Structure 1
Amino acid sequence: MSLTIDWDRERWLYLPDAFPWHVYPDEDAWITTITGAFVRAGWTAEQASWLGDYLRGLRANNTSGAHRFAWLLDPQAVLASIDVFDLEADPDQTLADLTGSDGSSDDLRPPLVTEVTAADLGSGHRVERSLRVPRPAHESIDDDDPVGDDVMLMVFWVFRSPRADVVVTATHGEPLALAAVLPDIEALIDRIRVAD
Structure 2
Amino acid sequence: MTLRVAADPARWMYIPARFPWQGYTRVEEWSAALLAALDDLHDYDTDQRELIRAYAEGLSRSIDTGEHRYAYLTQPHVETAIASFYEWPHLDVDDAELQGARDVRAVRPAVTEPFHSAALGDGTLTLRHVADATSGTVSAVAHWVWRMPDRDIIMIVGDSDLPRFLRLRPLYDDLARAIDLVPGDEGRSSIWPTD
Same fold (TM over 0.5): yes
Report the counterpart of residue 100 of structure 1 in structure 2: 100
CA distance in 2, matches of 1:122, 1:44: 46
Q: Secondary structure at the match of 2:75?
A: coil
Structure 2: give runs of 5+ residues left out of the alignment. 184-195
Q: In the alignment, is the contact (CA less than 8 A) between 1:89 and 1:163 conserved in 2?
A: yes
- 1:46 is displaced (CA, Å) by 2.2
Report the counterpart of residue 137 of structure 2 in structure 1: 150
Deviation string for 1:19-48 (max 9, x for gaps)?
000111111110010000111112223212
Instruction: With the length of structure 2 as denominator, give the TM-score of the two structures.
Output: 0.87
Q: Secondary structure at the match of 1:20?
A: coil
Report the counterpart of residue 142 of structure 1 in structure 2: none
Report the counterpart of residue 139 of structure 1 in structure 2: none
Report the counterpart of residue 5 of structure 2 in structure 1: 5
Is 1:169 matched with 2:170? no
Report the counterpart of residue 62 of structure 1 in structure 2: 63
Q: Please give the root-mean-square deviation of Cα atoms over the aligned residues, in Å.
A: 1.4
- 1:103 is displaced (CA, Å) by 5.3
Deviation string for 1:93-123 (max 9, x for gaps)?
212221332252x110000111110121111
Report the counterpart of residue 85 of structure 2 in structure 1: 84
Match of residue 185, structure 1, among 157, 169, 172: 172
Report the counterpart of residue 159 of structure 1 in structure 2: 146
Q: In the alignment, is the contact (CA less than 8 A) between 2:128 and 2:141 conserved in 1?
A: yes
Q: In the alignment, is the contact (CA less than 8 A) between 1:71 and 1:81 conserved in 2?
A: yes
What letter is aligned with 2:111? L
CA distance in 1, matches of 2:103, 2:131: 13
CA distance in 2, matches of 1:166, 1:86: 5
Q: In the alignment, is the contact (CA less than 8 A) between 2:113 and 2:124 conserved in 1?
A: yes
Task: Output aligned runs, 1:129-144, within 5 Å.
Answer: 129-135=128-134
Q: In the alignment, is the contact (CA less than 8 A) between 1:36 and 1:48 conserved in 2?
A: no
Q: In the alignment, is the contact (CA less than 8 A) between 2:141 and 2:158 conserved in 1?
A: yes
What letter is aligned with 2:19? F
What letter is aligned with 2:151? A
Q: In the alignment, is the contact (CA less than 8 A) between 1:39 and 1:45 conserved in 2?
A: no
Dislocated runs of 4+, deviation >4 Å: none
Is 1:16 matched with 2:3? no
Report the counterpart of residue 123 of structure 1 in structure 2: 122
What letter is aligned with 1:27? V
Report the counterpart of residue 25 of structure 1 in structure 2: 25
Aligned length: 182
Q: Secondary structure at the match of 1:107?
A: coil
Q: Secondary structure at the match of 2:173?
A: helix
- 1:150 is displaced (CA, Å) by 1.0
Q: In the alignment, is the contact (CA less than 8 A) between 2:101 and 2:111 conserved in 1?
A: no
Q: In the alignment, is the contact (CA less than 8 A) between 1:38 and 1:48 conserved in 2?
A: no
Higher relative contact order (Cα pairs below 8 Å, separated by 6+ residues):
2
Instruction: With the length of structure 1 as denominator, give the TM-score of the two structures.
Output: 0.87
CA distance in 2, matches of 1:186, 1:64: 24
